[in-house]
Structure 1
């Protein structure tokens, strides 16, 4: 009987080595670059918004902003050849996005800045990660890994230090501070609902630019109706700084930035995307240093560093299985 020598036999394949874990989507340049652009654009908005509140009622400034943003997105969608023939579900989604993001969120942000400093509103808005995490868990079934939770804790600690510093240098009256904080919390809820909407399968079923154009224009119409009801006929300030601010807020900080931001949400989810709101207060404080004479103390510097560390930890977290 012919026998195979051990050396003639088919070699035993080596045991498969475990596959290297996939690199987190949130650390790829395709995410980090738009993430950075959005953060810089929105970091400057707080100073610009504060300048918009001198003469024109807040609701009218919000209305003008989204008229500019909606028309910009409309032209962009037409250039891209995107279709606007939404079905009933699409129109419902556009209305929900308009009310949550472009009405509730911004009307209450602008009103908050009438009662507390823009820097404090920016610091408070960094807490967007909290409702995003809660609503993402409730409606999207997203589980939070330990590294993401650890990063959240570090970042929130940094935001808390910035909050304490801001409160010390601007000890506003208790009632004014309470109203401003309450308005910011309502704005946070509106923004978080919009973030969750953008992470659903419904959002992916429609062209993004066309959907945003429709939602912004619907939002502008609702904002205008609210403004006329609460503040009377339109008020326009022809100051160059005001008009430039409307164009910056409408075209760059809204039309361009939201296209990038909602694209980020669709890739890495609303929780990680909300970390732009953790970094934005630091950027806002840097702009305040340059244009408003903001002074950095050891407390503020420590808060800024903790915020950055928490951001890095959270962005490197891998999304756990659902």
Structure 2
């Protein structure tokens, strides 16, 4: 039964799926399957955002709360196929040429390839334009039987548990999706709020799905659930986030300054429940909270983050205890009255 799927299992299953920006179909179908037993309604909008709606339970006046986690992952898009069958591509989302070399990639139709690089006179010449995908084709005609211009691919990599940590691709932001599903599963009949678990599209190319989603829901409060950079590796930039220190409560990033009242509430609930947490100050990047907080007349918004190493690589690393703390924190906020 789906209720028996662990948080770890949810994350791993979602991580391994193919879902680049604008092509989240498989991920959306899996999330729908996982979340449906715990909510009153599941609907999809024209952009592909998925809404899992949980009506209020019990007495008391609650708010309309939007939890947002994005389904898409970074990837590549086919731009040209040469006469020998090698595939040229452009990035979809933030990708580094140095990370791409030698990586296996998978297309939605099952085609698998490996990323090669032209001979370089100087390592500084390593750019995406010098890379190609080898799908084992022997000619352009052969290659076009397997992939077409405009097809997208993502890293091909399984998820593995190493100690209390997980390594895999697309943990940005499949871990956030799993956390939202798990929080909705654990709420039971204990929340007075109308909760919308919103699984958004196209975050990696400009948080495009979150704005129409926030307009549709018109929430009183918005909380994005996403990853954040972890600064605990050798000679990392001096930032406060680290694996294993708990859920990260965002103060600011490039897209949002968290609503002070909502941020204080998150900290207060974490302290009251003994939930491990850390404060997040990110000097670049953003989340779905950016478009959510500027939607309509303005929506009080904040972010609960899971610190992650090696973002946008096939080997992202999270601490599973941080993901569990994020679930605990969301449940703690949603079970009681929200006052800002």
| TM-score of the alignment, normalized to the shorter chain, above 0.5 | no
Q: Which has the higher strand share?
A: 2
Q: Which has the higher helix share?
A: 1
Choose between structure 1 and 2 for higher RCO, CA contacts under 8 A separated by at least 6 residues.
1
Compute the TM-score of the two structures, normalised by the length of structure 2. 0.26
Compute the TM-score of the two structures, normalised by the length of structure 1. 0.27
